[in-house]
Structure 1
Amino acid sequence: MELSKRLEMVAGLVTQERIADIGTDHGYVPIYLYKQGRIKKAYACDVRKGPLEKCRKNIALYGAEDVIETRLGSGLTPLRPGEAETAIMAGMGGMLIVHILQDSPEVADSLKELVLSPQRDFGAVRKYLHQIGFAIREEHTLKEENKPYVLMRCERAEEHYDREIEYLYGKRLLEKKDPILKEVLLHEEGKYSRLLENLKKNPTENAQKRLPEVEKKLALMREALECL
């Protein structure tokens, strides 16, 4: 089985032997981990019946029925506390990840590890992880089909960041001067600089109201770029 570069990196971050893949689609990540001999139990969870049926067929194709079990349901709700040590959530919005964790607090509290790849709202995800007692041990970026992705591996531990940019852009990424983050920030900084100039020339009330927000965003981007 060949995974995409992103899903291969997601699988590579898993360290526990009992996992739940949330929004598993066709079950590629748990099957890949099974074939590598890295898991003893997996729950392939999805809210959609169609992909889960395809997932069951793939599990049977690779002879993994004794290890990988499919569960129909939303987020972590198909799981009981303690069944999984690691929850994988990749390819979904950051706020959806937060809501999934909020909606099943007992299951979330029983997890040892989270492997996440949110598509947006990274700062909200990082802040919520710290609120519920997870530390971000690893953070990586990669590009696939010219789109940048962020991946995180989190463990049970207390952690708190001191600066807003560390939540917005990732303390680990800033520390290692991540080149993809720098590329994204340079692009955004240019876009917001042009927006700021246009707002300054626009005398309307709405434009003037937006000025402080855009100036603040630009200041944070430039502070982050100084670290990179």
Structure 2
Amino acid sequence: MAVSKRLQAIVSLIEGHCLADIGCDHGYVIMEALRQKRIQKAYACDVAPRPLDNAKRNIHLHHLEEQVTCLLMDGIKELPSDVDSIVIAGMGASLMIDILEQGKSHIKKGIHFYFCPHKDASLLREYVSKQGFRIEQECVVEEDGHFYPIMKLVYTNTPYSLTQSEILYGVSCRKDTTYSLFLQKEQEKWKQIVAHMPKHKRTEANQRLQILENMRRQS
């Protein structure tokens, strides 16, 4: 089973007894987490029958039926009570926020979440901080020319505030070569944006560049 760098990075952050993978696709995150003994059991969850069938086949091939239950379900509203860790990956931040918003009355304190949004990560950070999900750790993974933020959070039900730099570029982010490259690419992108903007409209973009310059000094 070939596991991508992105999925390996998600698994490296997982801790707990029972994991639910929301939008499980082929079930690779669950299988790798079990292989590394980071969890004892899991629920592979998807709203669509076809990806859930893919997960079922892989689970059967690896003889994991006793540890993994497949659930055809929408979001996190109907998760079993023994779940203490939840992965939501492979989608944009807006859909992740919708899933959390629809299921927030069912979320217990102390549950860990692992997010990997494909886009709009800043929207997700702003939402979770206001809703009482404490971001414990982040890292950035580069795969096929795209940078993916990966977040580990715990639900505390205590809202808090983030700085603008944390909203845009991460909280307690692992400062490795990939993160440095990500900041460099972001700075290059925003320099090009500023260069093509009228001077009277550059204020916000220049603020973004200043944030990036400060963060690159610290990384």
TM-score in terms of structure 2 length: 0.86
The answer to whether the 8 A contact 2:187-2:209 is kept is yes
The answer to whether the 8 A contact 1:88-1:114 is kept is yes
SS state at 1:172 partner: coil
> Residue by residue, what CA displacement relative to the aligned partner does 1:36-92 show, whole Å, maximum 9, x if unpaired?
444333110112211111211222222222221111122213424x23111101222
Match of 1:8 in 2: 8
Question: Hey, what's the Cα distance between the residues in 2 that align with 1:123 and 1:162?
Answer: 11
Question: Hey, what's the Cα distance between the residues in 2 that align with 1:140 and 1:85?
Answer: 22
The answer to whether the 8 A contact 1:161-1:167 is kept is no
Partner AA of 1:135 in structure 2: R
Matches within 5 A, 1:99-110: 99-109=98-108
Distance 1:48 1:34, change over 3 A: same
Count of matched residue positions in the alignment of Structure 1 and Structure 2 = 218
Say whether 1:79 aligns with 2:79: yes
The answer to whether the 8 A contact 2:136-2:171 is kept is no
1:161 Cα deviation after fit: 4.8
1:27 Cα deviation after fit: 1.0
By percentage of residues, which structure has more helix?
1
Say whether 1:22 aligns with 2:22: yes
Runs of 5+ unmatched residues, structure 1: 202-207
Distance 1:171 1:105, change over 3 A: closer
1:125 Cα deviation after fit: 1.6
Question: Hey, what's the Cα distance between the residues in 2 that align with 1:185 and 1:38?
Answer: 31
1:166 Cα deviation after fit: 1.5
Matches within 5 A, 1:38-187: 38-80=38-80, 82-109=81-108, 112-157=111-156, 158=158, 160-173=160-173, 177-187=175-185
Match of 1:195 in 2: 193
Partner AA of 1:112 in structure 2: I
Q: How many percent identity over aligned positions? A: 29
Question: Hey, what's the Cα distance between the residues in 1 that align with 2:138 and 2:203?
Answer: 31
SS state at 2:76 partner: coil
Question: Hey, what's the Cα distance between the residues in 2 that align with 1:103 and 1:128?
Answer: 13
Partner AA of 1:187 in structure 2: K
TM-score in terms of structure 1 length: 0.83
Question: Hey, what's the Cα distance between the residues in 2 that align with 1:72 and 1:226?
Answer: 47
1:6 Cα deviation after fit: 1.7
> Residue by residue, what CA displacement relative to the aligned partner does 1:192-211 show, whole Å, maximum 9, x if unpaired?
2233232227xxxxxx5x43
Partner AA of 1:45 in structure 2: C
SS state at 1:109 partner: coil
1:162 Cα deviation after fit: 5.0
Partner AA of 2:218 in structure 1: C
Question: Hey, what's the Cα distance between the residues in 1 that align with 2:141 and 2:216?
Answer: 18
1:148 Cα deviation after fit: 1.8
Distance 1:16 1:226, change over 3 A: same
Runs of 5+ unmatched residues, structure 2: none
C-alpha RMSD of the superposition: 2.4
SS state at 2:63 partner: coil
1:211 pairs, out of 198, 202, 217, with 202
